[in-house]
Chains A and B, each alone.
Chain A
């Protein structure tokens, strides 16, 4: 990052009102995200878990956005690449590892893929793997808030660039716009829909420009900059909470890892491309900013890294030691009460 950018961040306006402690918390979330993310892939390669999904490259976007989320008030309707948002709104590394190990104590009871979180307590709405299917749910939740006149609350719903091709994505944006719902649609544009690049997904690569078609505000920001992410999401959430209706946000980032542990991204993109994006890796970039600003010193950063590693190790060991769900759990919570299709 150039000196001038760091000077801009030093300026309180560019800090978007974030305190030193908030900036540290954002950085810590980013470190934790990457550590947990890599842990999932390591466990898969060790043969301990059948599957893992990574969010590497989304750390800045997600930790900044999560800082704008108001716990206890707002709701989050995420997708499966939102580890940093889940952590940022209050899920613990232990909860993340329970999901990765599919243990009985997981919110989903080990039913869903890793990263398909659900937590009523944290305001995290349950979702499936079917892309865009959760977006109308977020709209319905926002409708419920507006219907009950719960001002000061909003729904933050996220998806990747690939999901914006789905019909339900459009239907949801349209409905939210018609009813001026308290909703923020945050698109995490990482340029790839598994193997399909942006150029083969859409004719207009600036996703935020679709906002004009819906008659709502749209904004694009640098998804490698957590402060820019925080600022954009905060403005949009504040507008939604105050009755100003929905916003379409697009944070541009990059997916450094393959789509999942079952994907080989070298079959559709080059090492050179990935390496080129690595130069903008949000972690070292934000670290430099914090060092330059004197918010964190090298020893503190070193200590933070160690703590994050320790926390990840502890969460891994603790979750791994927990039992799988009993086979009999296959039959529970289908409907309320006991169930037989023949009665």
Chain B
């Protein structure tokens, strides 16, 4: 992707905001609905002042009722609007589970293509922000099992813009996951003008030769930090940012693994049944004999979520240091 002259440096929250703003300006079928998206402008101020410009009929403060936030958006989508529903925190998505899994994901399929559901559900997820049990969870594994959905979890501002545009343009339901710790922490150059990044395309964020690390979200940044540290120790690590979780990019993963012959998967979500399990299985099926070491997953422990107390959060979360150690072990194998 060429960086155009009008590119600028933004953080993730500013990028989401600007991308949504452009979508609202460009297509009057687009409406935003969710809790506190109107006058409050979303709890992270992503839609601040949108209601002044686009009106309360397009920036809809809903009652506190997540199932119907998604359900009403499904109905809007079936009848020609392009809704962007917001679940205030990913932890609150559980009441909407049926509307996402049972309805949005099946609308096209169950009507044999007669009805479609072009819907984006945005939600901030992830920890490291003292979010405790109910403001820090990763939800992707609960949904990536579900045919009919697409799931995106970008880490960098330029990817946020391209993938959010692609999600909004997509004719099928997309769950768009925004890691809240990256919201203001991560800044990057974002090209100007409208562009999209295809859903299902990973991106090699750092080239390397001795070990492949696959990750997404906040942990991509930490994996890069760890990989750069290892570079100074003479270990060359390749970091693959999945960006999309469903569909997932087999080609990029396999190409990298066949080159480095070692695979470490790193994610913030629980290890058991997580995204890493599917990647491990795929690589074992497709490239077992290209590997020089067993596949390893460096993921969260099998507990419901991180605790509020700092030691409980730190115990749950990985860190660049822990990731570096996991990488060293793999390199030594």
B282 within 8 Å of A (CB atoms)? yes
CB-based contact A172/B68 at 8 Å: yes
CB-based contact A75/B79 at 8 Å: yes
CB-based contact A112/B110 at 8 Å: yes
CB-based contact B148/A335 at 8 Å: yes
**Which residues of chain A in 257-302 are interfacial with respect to chain B, using CB atoms and an 8 Å cutoff?**
none
CB-based contact A140/B114 at 8 Å: no
CB-based contact A107/B250 at 8 Å: no
Docked Cα-Cα span, A162 to B226, in Å, equals 56
- Cβ of A133: which chain B residues have Cβ within 8 Å of it? 71, 98-99, 102-103
Docked Cα-Cα span, A177 to B99, in Å, equals 21
B330 within 8 Å of A (CB atoms)? no
B24 within 8 Å of A (CB atoms)? no
CB-based contact B110/A139 at 8 Å: no
Query: How far, in Å, is A322 (CB) from chain B's closest CB?
Result: 15
A167 within 8 Å of B (CB atoms)? yes
B41 within 8 Å of A (CB atoms)? no
Query: How far, in Å, is A110 (CB) from chain B's closest CB?
Result: 8
Closest to B68 in A: A171
Query: How far, in Å, is A148 (CB) from chain B's closest CB?
Result: 8
Interface residues on B, range: 35 or more
B72 within 8 Å of A (CB atoms)? yes
A175 within 8 Å of B (CB atoms)? yes
CB-based contact A143/B76 at 8 Å: yes
Docked Cα-Cα span, A137 to B98, in Å, equals 13
**Which residues of chain B in 239-262 are interfacial with respect to chain A, using CB atoms and an 8 Å cutoff?**
246-251
Among the listed stretches B57-65, B217-225, B230-238, B307-315, which one makes contact with chain A, having 4 or more residues with CB under 8 Å of it?
B57-65
Among the listed stretches A57-65, A124-132, A241-249, which one makes contact with chain B, having 4 or more residues with CB under 8 Å of it?
A124-132
Closest to B75 in A: A140
B306 within 8 Å of A (CB atoms)? no
- Cβ of A340: which chain B residues have Cβ within 8 Å of it? 247
CB-based contact B76/A140 at 8 Å: yes
- Cβ of B72: which chain A residues have Cβ within 8 Å of it? 136-137, 139-140, 143, 172, 175
Closest to B71 in A: A136
- The residue in B76, B112, B171, B172 that gathers the most chain A C-beta atoms within 10 A of its C-beta is B112
Query: How far, in Å, is A109 (CB) from chain B's closest CB?
Result: 4
- Cβ of A108: which chain B residues have Cβ within 8 Å of it? 110-112, 114
B193 within 8 Å of A (CB atoms)? no
Q: A167-B95, A342-B248 are in contact. Are A334 and B108 (CB under 8 A)?
A: yes
Closest to A341 in B: B247
User: What is the size, in residues, of chain A's interface with B at 8 Å between Cβ atoms?
Assistant: 46
CB-based contact A141/B76 at 8 Å: yes
**Which residues of chain B in 108-130 are interfacial with respect to chain A, using CB atoms and an 8 Å cutoff?**
108-116
Query: How far, in Å, is A260 (CB) from chain B's closest CB?
Result: 19
Docked Cα-Cα span, A75 to B76, in Å, equals 13
B73 within 8 Å of A (CB atoms)? yes
CB-based contact A120/B109 at 8 Å: no
**Which residues of chain B in 36-80 are interfacial with respect to chain A, using CB atoms and an 8 Å cutoff?**
57-58, 62-63, 65, 67-68, 70-80
CB-based contact A144/B76 at 8 Å: yes
**Which residues of chain B in 168-206 are interfacial with respect to chain A, using CB atoms and an 8 Å cutoff?**
171-172, 200-201
Docked Cα-Cα span, A146 to B76, in Å, equals 11
- Cβ of B63: which chain A residues have Cβ within 8 Å of it? 171, 174-175, 178
- Cβ of A71: which chain B residues have Cβ within 8 Å of it? none
**Which residues of chain A in 316-343 are interfacial with respect to chain B, using CB atoms and an 8 Å cutoff?**
332-336, 339-343
- Digitize A86-118: 1 where CB-to-B-CB distance is under 8 Å, 0 elsewhere: 000000000000000000001111011000101
Docked Cα-Cα span, A107 to B113, in Å, equals 9
CB-based contact A139/B247 at 8 Å: no
CB-based contact A126/B115 at 8 Å: yes
Query: How far, in Å, is A296 (CB) from chain B's closest CB?
Result: 37
Docked Cα-Cα span, A3 to B171, in Å, equals 58
A119 within 8 Å of B (CB atoms)? yes
B31 within 8 Å of A (CB atoms)? yes
**Which residues of chain A in 152-195 are interfacial with respect to chain B, using CB atoms and an 8 Å cutoff?**
167-168, 171-172, 174-175, 178
Query: How far, in Å, is B118 (CB) from chain A's closest CB?
Result: 9
CB-based contact A334/B75 at 8 Å: no
CB-based contact B81/A137 at 8 Å: no
- Cβ of A171: which chain B residues have Cβ within 8 Å of it? 63, 65, 67-68, 71
Docked Cα-Cα span, A30 to B279, in Å, equals 56
CB-based contact B112/A343 at 8 Å: no
CB-based contact B251/A111 at 8 Å: no
B267 within 8 Å of A (CB atoms)? no
- Cβ of A119: which chain B residues have Cβ within 8 Å of it? 114
Docked Cα-Cα span, A126 to B102, in Å, equals 13
CB-based contact A130/B102 at 8 Å: yes
- Cβ of B109: which chain A residues have Cβ within 8 Å of it? 111, 333-334
Question: Which of B78, B98, B171 interacts with A140 by CB under 8 Å?
Answer: B78
CB-based contact A334/B148 at 8 Å: yes
A227 within 8 Å of B (CB atoms)? no
- Cβ of A135: which chain B residues have Cβ within 8 Å of it? 71
- Cβ of B172: which chain A residues have Cβ within 8 Å of it? 335-336
Closest to A119 in B: B114
- Cβ of B73: which chain A residues have Cβ within 8 Å of it? 140
- Cβ of B114: which chain A residues have Cβ within 8 Å of it? 107-108, 118-120, 126
Q: A175-B63, A175-B65 are in contact. Are A137 and B247 (CB under 8 A)?
A: no
**Which residues of chain B in 280-299 are interfacial with respect to chain A, using CB atoms and an 8 Å cutoff?**
282
Docked Cα-Cα span, A109 to B114, in Å, equals 10
Additional pairs, 4, CB under 8 Å, beyond known A118-B115, A128-B103:
A144-B76, A144-B80, A175-B72, A332-B113
Across the A-B interface, the 5 shortest Cβ-Cβ residue pairs? A140-B75, A136-B71, A137-B75, A171-B68, A109-B112
21 contacts between A and B (CB under 8 A): A108-B111, A111-B112, A118-B111, A118-B114, A125-B79, A126-B78, A139-B71, A140-B73, A141-B79, A143-B76, A167-B95, A171-B65, A172-B71, A175-B68, A333-B108, A333-B112, A335-B148, A335-B150, A336-B108, A341-B248, A343-B200
